[in-house]
Chain A
Amino acid sequence: DGGITQSPKYLFRKEGQNVTLSCEQNLNHDAMYWYRQDPGQGLRLIYYSQIVNDFQKGDIAEGYSVSREKKESFPLTVTSAQKNPTAFYLCASADLRQQGEKLFFGSGTQLSVL
């Protein structure tokens, strides 16, 4: 079945540690996105990518980094510079040739600080 997979489901970060969240899709979508969700805050955009080897910062990119070496993969690294990383992280993809507003989301990663 085609879809978008995030792992792990739960992740714990120690002080000063970088952690990487995985996002893989087999939908052949060009566009991929990372959103952060805090309670009552909706979804805020961290980074997005329209094509391999290219990505743009979203509204809250500070303390995060991404790469897009393959069309299928868009990992997010939460660096030690992100002082408040506890949140629910959602990855999404979209087929821009069809309906760019229809995002397909992964099941999310809950990141907590130890």
Chain B
Amino acid sequence: GQSLEQPSEVTAVEGAIVQINCTYQTSGFYGLSWYQQHDGGAPTFLSYNALDGLEETGRFSSFLSRSDSYGYLLLQELQMKDSASYFCAVRQRGSGNTPLVFGKGTRLSVIA
């Protein structure tokens, strides 16, 4: 099986940088994904790291280190609209398609 650990809540100031960590335990997986969900809304895909290293998409970057069983999502130039929950997710290696397993999510509050 697999389990993912994330902080439950993070608070940061508008314009600042925040890092949301995700540690995982799994016997083998394809990569680490990140999703954003605003209150009452649908989760939306942010990024996917298949390989170790940093992936950058605008203000958001995601990092993966398989040797450390660790990844993070980095949000720069924080805006009020970034207040949301962020989930890391993995898909375990197996026969056929295996579904995504999500962490419990980190609620980010951006304050003025």
A interface vs B, CB < 8 Å? 31, 33, 35, 40-45, 48, 50, 58, 90, 96, 99-108
B97:A100 contact, CB within 8 angstroms: yes
Within 8 A of A (CB), among B28-66: 30-31, 33, 35, 40-45, 48
Contact of B97 among A31, A42, A104, A107 (CB under 8 A): A31
A45:B99 contact, CB within 8 angstroms: yes
A90:B8 contact, CB within 8 angstroms: no
B interface vs A, CB < 8 Å? 8, 30-31, 33, 35, 40-45, 48, 87, 89, 91, 96-97, 99-105
Which applies to chain B's interface (DSSP): helix, strand, loop or mixed?
strand
Using A90-B43, A105-B43 as known contacts, say yes or no to A33 and B99 having CB atoms under 8 A apart: yes
Which applies to chain A's interface (DSSP): helix, strand, loop or mixed?
loop
Chain B residues, CB < 8 A from A103: 35, 43, 45, 100
B42:A58 contact, CB within 8 angstroms: no
A102:B48 contact, CB within 8 angstroms: yes
| Min CB–CB distance A101 → chain B (angstroms) | 5
How far, in angstroms, from A43 to B99 measured CA to CA in the complex? 12
Chain B residues, CB < 8 A from A48: 99
A101:B91 contact, CB within 8 angstroms: yes
Chain B residues, CB < 8 A from A99: 48
